[in-house]
Structure 1
Amino acid sequence: MVEAPLDDAVLRAIRRIFQRVAEHSRQLARDTGLTVPQILVLKAVATGEPTVGQVSALVHQSPATVSRIVDRLERGGLIARRRGSADRRQVRLTLTPEGVAQVATLPAPLQERFLARFHALPVDERHGLLGALEHVVALMDASDLDVPPVLSASDDSDPPAPRHRPDR
């Protein structure tokens, strides 16, 4: 079949993307004990004292998903919840001292490195790449999937974040 080499090349390219995302997610988990979504939430909390809703908007996840991630990070000793002083109904998120130490050593997620390289491309090339990727999504019957803009093989069903213990 004449199309076989082209077919194989396309499938291999798609597979390489899947594999790279999965490898990166596993490596981050091994190195940090955290999933990509947990890392993104920690980084969002490090920007100030946001609410779950504000973090949700920053990391493009639902408030329910962010709440579950925050629960795990809180159990791991990396995040604390505190009531607002002006409005006791409002709950603010803060990093614990262990959380601050963890954020200071976090590697950049794959998507940050990818986006830096993507932004270096000419605008017309970026639009062409987006068009090609959207076409692949349609060919894979995945257009109706609502997913956050996060390159990760993990989701919010991952195990709890372990408690970070600085080296002694």
Structure 2
Amino acid sequence: MINDDTETFDEVGSDADVGEVLLALGGRLTRLQTEILAGLDQSLTIRQYRILSRVGSGHTSLTALCKLAHRNPSTMSESVDKMVTRGFLIRGTSDTSRRTMRLALTPLGVEARDAARRALEKFAAELTAGLPAEMRSPLLPALRRIYFDTQGHLDDR
């Protein structure tokens, strides 16, 4: 059920514009995702989940992960080190160059990634379950546009 009671908003008021509401919503969604991932049997951070997903989809070099996440190598290396220690990832050498590190998911990493994906898919379905179709139809293209337009802001950093 959608509650239009603006007194329940703690970041925005009734006079907030679309951008302000999106920023507040982004923060709230991040918090909920963080809590969901932390509550799994193999707890993960959002960053760890993204790394597992990206490695699982074929982005196996530290350079590729840095580019996708818009992070510097030392930050990404630290995250990867923690995941290797926890048994989610293993390091190997690339088939094409011994000097290039290649990451791979372990069975535990696959299990953690899949459990996180299922939990987040369930959460996403719950988010929109109460929205009637006539609200979804115009909302989806608008949100996709905003999502892809924000990529330019990431690329500039």
TM norm structure 2: 0.60
Which of 72, 86, 106 is the aligned partner of 1:62?
72
- Asked which structure has the greater RCO (Cα within 8 Å, sep 6+), the reply is 1
Match of 1:83 in 2: 93
Task: List runs of 5+ in structure 2 lacking aligned partners.
Answer: 1-6, 129-135
- Partners of 1:94 and 1:120 lie apart in 2 by 40
Pairing 1:8–2:13 present: yes
Cα deviation, 1:43-82, whole Å, max 9, x if unaligned, reads: 1111236110112223333322221110110010000111
Cα deviation, 1:112-145, whole Å, max 9, x if unaligned, reads: x59xx8996475x459968xxx9xxxxxxxxxxx
- Partners of 2:27 and 2:59 lie apart in 1 by 35
- Partners of 2:38 and 2:105 lie apart in 1 by 19
Whether the aligned pair in 1 keeps the contact of 2:89 and 2:105 (CA below 8 Å) is yes
Identity over aligned residues, as a percent? 22
Which range moves more in the overlay, 8-17 or 63-72?
8-17
Structure 1 pair 120–52 and aligned structure 2 pair: CA distance change class (3 A): farther
Which of 83, 93, 98 is the aligned partner of 1:73?
83
Q: How many residues align?
A: 126
Match of 2:114 in 1: 104
Give matches, 1:78-157, under 5 Å: 78-107=88-117, 109=120, 113=124, 121=139, 123=141, 125-126=142-143
Structure 1 pair 57–49 and aligned structure 2 pair: CA distance change class (3 A): closer
SS in 2 for 1:92: strand
Whether the aligned pair in 1 keeps the contact of 2:93 and 2:102 (CA below 8 Å) is yes
Pairing 1:42–2:52 present: yes
- Partners of 2:36 and 2:58 lie apart in 1 by 28
Instruction: Give RMSD over aligned pairs.
Output: 3.9
Task: List runs of 5+ in structure 1 lacking aligned partners.
Answer: 135-145, 149-168
The structure carrying a bigger helix percent of its residues is 2
Which of 8, 11, 30 is the aligned partner of 2:39?
30
TM norm structure 1: 0.56
